[in-house]
Amino acid sequence: MTVHISGIDVVSPLGLSREEHWKALLDGCSGLGATRSFDSTPYDNPVSGEVLGFDPGELPSRLLPATDRMTQMSLVAAAGAFEDSGIDLDGVDPLDIGVMTASTAGGYAFGQKELQNLWSRGPKYVSTHQSYAWFYAVNTGQISIRHSCQGHSGVIVADDAGGLDAIALAARRLARGNRVMLTGSVDSTMCPWGRVAHTSTGQLSRSADPRTAYLPFDERADGWVNGEGGAHLVLRSEADGSYAAVLGHGATVDGAQDAPGTGLGRAIRLALDAAGLRPRDIDLVLADAAGTRQADRAEAAALVDVFGACSVPVAAPKTATGRMGCGTASLDIAMAALAIRDQTIPPTVNAEADESLGIDLRGVTARHRITNVLVLSRGIGGFNSALVIGA
């Protein structure tokens, strides 16, 4: 059964809707800047990709004190994706509608606030909403409640790679009985607790200049920038109004003896096989683009091994937003669908490819024939995921 992407909505540092984000991206804008959500001066990573101007006012007022900002953004994007799909949810049995999201850590900022209350004031000052607001499955639960989705649902936790894995699993659920699936991810760890957690990896950029803070595949690469946001998608079997079709998925976990990039290469080949495609059938790759020299070299090596040197256009639109946990890959799938719709390669802002890597990294917006797009994502712990969508 062919699975179609029939609805998309986005919340990101570039915009608060699908088309606003897409236009800003194609215009070469960047959503990176000095951190505003909290005082980042005690940390070595002053640049962030923050969602500015977000207003959760459309949500029921009772939800606002009970949810993290991440969940509020997820609820708004989910409602937008359902609306974009044109599906009359009242006309579908609730048992046929499922929700499959990805998460890295749940409501980080909400959790920090309540733990601070615990440490400074005592247990009776901790909100009862803490029990679920920082839970990794909270977005799936809140979306399901708000839209009466009672079909098979779940959540994937595989760091950044989970954004692709959740979409693939949602597509699988359609083949097993659900009629409609809301999937993708909106993620945020934009608070001191989240920044410390990411800093501990040693992979965050220390640059204070937004133009040089996140430069994947560039000789100047020095790490990645923490962002927030993502995208939700509506999947169904009907092709009417479809942006693109989900064609094939591959996922692997790096083994202790694997050479760098081999696990990602296996995931790419699994996705191509599942899609029934050959390497030459891929018109665009949206790269994971880790932003560290070692990880970028491993990804480039995997691409060269599968496709050959400089034989397929590669883009990393996340350079304009930062890496937003598992929301990053979901946003990349949304951008891949719009690239197919508009036959346009989105730019990789600021970065200039190291020629020794052997990849054709596109730095500017360009018209291009695009039928099939491969999206890649990796997560800490050795997770690799590859997903192919096509016209």
pLDDT of residue 57: 84
pLDDT at 105 over 90: no
Alpha-carbon torsion angle 335, 201, 102, 63, nearest 10: -100
H helix runs in 176-258, sequence order: 192-199
260, pLDDT greater than 90:
no
Instruction: Report the alpha-carbon distance of residue 155 to residue 142 in Å, rounded.
Output: 12
Whole-angstrom Cα distance, residue 237 to residue 96? 12
Coil, strand or helix: which one is 304? Answer: helix
Q: What is the CA radius of gyration of the chain?
A: 20
pLDDT > 90 in the chain, percent: 90
Q: Are strands 32-34 and 180-187 parallel, antiparallel or unpaired?
A: unpaired
Find the mean pLDDT for residues 346-371: 96
**H-type alpha helices, 176-317:** 192-199, 262-275, 293-307
For the question of whether the overall pTM of this predicted structure is more than 0.85, the answer is yes
- The answer to whether 326 and 228 are in contact (CB under 8 A) is no
Please, what is the average pLDDT of the chain?
95
Percent of the chain with pLDDT over 70: 100
CATH fold, domain 244-390, is Peroxisomal Thiolase; Chain A, domain 1 (3.40.47)
Residue 251: predicted pLDDT: 97
pLDDT at 40 over 90: no
pLDDT tier for residue 351 given thresholds of 50, 70 and 90:
very high
User: What pLDDT, on a 0 to 100 scale, did the predictor assign at position 258?
Assistant: 81
Q: Model confidence over 52-100: pLDDT tens digits?
A: 999 998 899 999 999 999 999 999 999 999 999 999 999 999 999 999 9
CATH of domain 3-236: 3.40.47.10
- Cα–Cα dist 374/336, whole Å: 8
For the chain, give every domain's residue range: 3-236, 244-390
With 90 as the cut, is the pLDDT of residue 240 above it?
no
DSSP summary character for residue 150: -
Q: What share of the chain is helix, strand, coil (3-state, %, to 5)?
A: 40, 20, 40
CA-to-CA dists, residue 337 to 130, 315, 389, angstroms: 36, 14, 7
Q: Is the pLDDT of residue 155 over 90?
A: yes
pLDDT at 55: 92
Q: Do domains 3-236 and 244-390 have the same CATH topology?
A: yes
Cβ atoms within 10 Å, residue 87: 21
Q: In this predicted structure, what is the pLDDT of residue 46?
A: 92
